[in-house]
Amino acid sequence: MGTWSGEPFGNDAAGDFGWELDDQKRWNVVKDALQRAVSSGAPLDADTACIAIAAAEVVAHGLGRPTQNDAYTDSAVNFVARARRPSARLAATAARAVEVASSPDGELAELWAEGDEQEWRDANARLLAALTGR
């Protein structure tokens, strides 16, 4: 997996997920990615976790509280302009997905333990705060 930052769209899996938002007008793609994470019942593989975190960032954009706003999030910005505001329920699911995706038991946490783990943890904390309004 190519990674260049700890931000939600700072890796290849998240970038690929961004392409899935093209021409979408409803939250289904985002909901599906979040649901895969929260309903897995097992530690997530790295790609599933990266996609869940990116999907949560899309929700944060929809709430008007993005944590990443750069060229890597253009797909999220464009999607949010076409879609309705996400529901409080979707925001809660997104927050739960970030918690699951950043679990110490998951593959993604193991990979980040080999690099700048604090950058990734800080980015996830900012995203959780944006999703919960805290």
Residue-wise DSSP of 46-103: HHHHHHHHHHHHHHHHHTT--S--SGGGHHHHHHHHHSPPPPHHHHHHHHHHHHHHT-
9 touches 68 (CB < 8 A): yes
56 is a domain residue: yes
1 is a domain residue: no
* Full pLDDT tens readout for the chain, 134 residues: 588 899 999 999 999 999 999 999 999 999 999 999 999 888 899 999 999 999 999 999 999 999 999 999 999 999 999 999 999 999 999 999 999 999 999 999 999 998 889 999 999 999 999 999 87
57 is a domain residue: yes
4 is a domain residue: no
pLDDT of amino acid 134: 79
Domain that includes residue 111, residue range: 12-132
pLDDT of amino acid 1: 53
User: What pTM, to 2 d.p., does this model score?
Assistant: 0.96
67 touches 123 (CB < 8 A): yes
